[in-house]
Amino acid sequence: MTPVAPLDDLDPVTLAVLQGRLEQIADEMDATLFRSAFNPIIAEAHDASHGLYDARTGDTLVQGKSGLPVFVGAMAFAVRAVIDTHQRDGTTPQPGDVHIFNDPYDGGTHLSDFKLVRPYFRDGALFCWLASVGHWHDVGGAVPGNYNPAATECFQEGMVIPPVRLIAAGVLNGDIIRILQANSRLPGSLYGDLNGQLNALDLGVRRLDDLLDHYGPALVRRAMDRLRLRAATLMRDSIEALPDGTEHVADYLDNDGIQDQPLTIRLAVTVAGDRLTLDFTGTDAACLGPVNIARSTAIAACYVALKHLFPDVPANAGVLDPVEILIPETSFLSVRAPKPVGGYTETILRVIDAVFVAMARFAPERATACAYGTINALSLAGHRADGSRFVMFSFFGGGHGGHPKGDGLNHGNAPISMATIPPLEILEAAYPVMATEWALRPDSGGDGRHRGGLGAIYEFELLAERADLFLFGERARHAPPGVLGGQPGALNRFTWTDAGVVKTPPMASKLVGASLNRGDRVRLETPGGGGFGPPDQREPSARAEDQRLGYVSHAQ
């Protein structure tokens, strides 16, 4: 079909239409998986993402807006891993191929996130790649749900799958599916999520066919190139508007789950003209426990932080064109196999916090204080009355940081995602638990001109005869910082009852294999966000409203 606009005249209206159509393809892929996935972490919490990627480099072209932003940067590395696999093996991608893998050192994140990568061909030539990633409910390993705070190598966190062809030229290899199911405590959930991802990729192919039939591949390719150039240009302009200089910050993880001592992330941010450098030199070395992350994951976290600060820049690889990211190979932000990486979420949240604090000094008008800084990955595993196995894995929310225009969000999700916190009704319906408290946590937001948002209180009672309990959290010893004079939010707190006795984790925010019996309870009191600006600048009327709503106690 003849393109609807000439190639030498890609006007702004046509570009905007094509941008919208491309984003809609990724958004529809997201929606397809969310509606068909078997496990609540994808179906309810939206822990997944889809996108289109450059045929030659794997760079992000378009990303869905409903999935996890951290996957925007990480999935480019996943697509490159498939490209590298073809180059290493001397093979070429074929129409109908689908690679599957969860290797976190090539594709980023952790073993729970399974990536499916499919080439898209037009007129016999590779036009781009389509990719899907979703957090599967259980992928083996020592801990149900796979957040194992005591892991010292990746093999204790789950099965490790390198890039392999699940589908070769349209022919499904069922042996691979059987291997995957045999290594999961929840093979039915795994099968459903896998098919949801395959269906999302099929839909992406159909939507791309429709788009290219209407506009022609040459015009769409030019639009993709123009959108990346536009992102890079807007990012350079945004950086150039900042004052030149260097700012040094540090933030801390409670511990690595093995050794009870803090881990330090050091960051120097330098602005020089239209270039930005994020230098993590001085960050602690790789650790024994699972708060290590791969280099690709660290870069993805930096991308997410910058997109929060510069929201008007289109979400594609051009964002990082004027940005240099320096990560020492020996640090716990740049590890290789078999170092454990299962708790990556906690570490990337700390990377984002460090970027927020440093950039607040360059651009107060864009600044935001730190959010609560932990997903509090909680796992309860046992058997129902009928003998069937259950694995309740979920993450939980907290307060967001104050910002130039107002107070932080109460009870939000972590800034690494657009995910939603699973509703208590869903958790109660899916697992033998009863929510006994689900409320905002008073006095948890950091004080400031604009207060940090409140954390939350979650309490569940076990209805099954017994269950094993696991927790992977953070911010129990190092509170979420405020910025520009704002105060920190409250510390994270976790307790559980054992025959009426209240207990706390020896590692403060991490726990392995505690045993619960019917009627025992688990309780999370999550951090609030940091405050923005000096507390003495807060309006008296705002303080009075905080007290009226019960956000702060009258004693304050």
Q: What's the CA gap between 235 and 276, in Å, rounded?
A: 10
Mind listing the pLDDT tens digit for each residue in 216-236? Answer: 999 999 999 999 999 999 999
The residue count for the chain: 556
Establish if 326 belongs to a structural domain.
Answer: no
Establish if 26 belongs to a structural domain.
Answer: yes
Write down the pLDDT at residue 5.
45
Establish if 325 belongs to a structural domain.
Answer: no
For the chain, how many structural domains are there in total? Answer: 2
| Residue ending a domain, choose from 178, 212, 231 | 231
315 pLDDT more than 70: yes
Query: Could you tell me the two tokens for 265?
Result: 């992330």
Establish if 62 belongs to a structural domain.
Answer: yes
For CA atoms 123, 126, 127, 130, give the dihedral sign: positive
| Residue ending a domain, choose from 169, 199, 231 | 231
Q: Are strands 456-462 and 323-326 parallel, antiparallel or unpaired?
A: unpaired
Establish if 486 belongs to a structural domain.
Answer: yes
Tell which residue, 208, 224, 228, has the closest CA to residue 131.
208
Establish if 281 belongs to a structural domain.
Answer: no
Write down the pLDDT at residue 8.
52
What percentage of residues in the chain have a pLDDT greater than 70? Answer: 97
Establish if 286 belongs to a structural domain.
Answer: no
Range of the domain at 176: 12-231
Write down the pLDDT at residue 555.
53
* Average confidence (pLDDT) over 32-56: 92
Write down the pLDDT at residue 554.
67
SS3 (DSSP) at 134: strand
The mean-pLDDT minimum among 57-66, 110-119, 202-211, 468-477 falls in 57-66
What's the gap between Cα 426 and its chain centre?
21
Query: Could you tell me the two tokens for 489?
Result: 């939010």
Q: Which residues pair with 118 in a beta bridge?
A: 130
Q: What's the CA gap between 373 and 401, in Å, rounded?
A: 10
Classify residue 90 by burial, with Cβ atoms within 10 Å: 0-12, 13-18, 19+. exposed
Mean pLDDT of the chain: 94
| Residue ending a domain, choose from 231, 249, 271 | 231
pTM for this model (two decimals): 0.94
367 pLDDT more than 80: yes
Mind listing the pLDDT tens digit for each residue in 56-115? Answer: 999 999 988 887 778 877 899 999 999 999 999 999 999 999 999 999 998 879 999 999
Place of tokens 């061909």: 121
Spatial strand order of the sheet with 125-135 comes to 60-63, 48-54, 125-135, 113-122, 98-101, 164-168, 171-172
Q: Are strands 48-54 and 98-101 parallel, antiparallel or unpaired?
A: unpaired
Do 74 and 53 contact (CB within 8 A), yes or no?
no
Mind listing the pLDDT tens digit for each residue in 372-398? Answer: 999 999 999 999 999 999 999 999 999
Q: What's the CA gap between 223 and 25, in Å, rounded?
A: 15
Establish if 521 belongs to a structural domain.
Answer: yes
